[in-house]
């Protein structure tokens, strides 16, 4: 309804935040640059925290869009999982599950370790994003 009133061709306020509607003011531009730097320079754990509705998910989606193809990304949007479930989701996102729906924790960790080592040696990178980690 508001699209016509404001002359929008599509809805910018959907449930899933869409980075194409991101307005990069100076603060968000600096934040995005810091996130990209942290990932590309392999700085390890990066925590993005903020109040509900401040744009964390939108910023993470923008980050994923801007990362080089050499960066492999797994995203967990439901952190209310067991470790095994989370590991299996990460493996699936990274195409490491090889058709198996569930893999033993030991086997899964071995696959993930081998994959991250391969990526590191070939100048790639692996990023796991846990959104709504509370």
Q: What is the mean pLDDT of the chain?
A: 90
Where does the pLDDT of residue 100 fall: very low under 50, low under 70, confident under 90, or very high at 90 and above? Answer: confident
**CA–CA dist 97, 89 (Å, integer):** 9
Return the structure tokens found at 90.
């990460």
In the chain, what are the domain boundaries?
A: 1-67, 70-134
| Rounded Cα–Cα distance for residues 123 and 23 (Å) | 31
| Residue 72 clears pLDDT 90, i.e. is over it | yes
Whether the model pTM is above 0.75: yes
Q: What is the pLDDT of residue 125?
A: 95
Q: What is the pLDDT of residues 13-66, one digit of tens each?
A: 777 778 888 889 999 999 999 999 999 999 999 999 999 888 899 999 999 999
Determine the Cα–Cα distance for residues 34 and 48; give it in Å rounded to an integer: 11
Is the predicted pLDDT of residue 84 greater than 70, yes or no? Answer: yes
């Amino acid at each position: 309804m508001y699209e016509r009133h404001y002359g929008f061709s599509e809805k910018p306020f959907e449930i899933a935040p869409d980075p194409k509607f991101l307005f990069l003011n100076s603060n968000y531009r600096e934040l995005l640059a810091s996130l990209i730097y942290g990932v590309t320079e392999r700085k390890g754990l990066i925590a993005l925290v903020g109040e509900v509705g401040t744009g964390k998910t939108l910023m993470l989606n923008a980050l994923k869009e801007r990362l080089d193809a050499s960066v492999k990304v797994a995203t967990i949007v439901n952190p209310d999982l067991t470790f095994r479930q989370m590991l299996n989701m990460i493996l699936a996102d990274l195409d490491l599950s090889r058709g198996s729906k569930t893999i033993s924790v030991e086997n899964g960790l071995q696959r993930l370790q081998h994959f991250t080592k391969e990526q590191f040696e070939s100048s790639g990178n692996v990023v796991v994003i846990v959104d709504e980690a509370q």
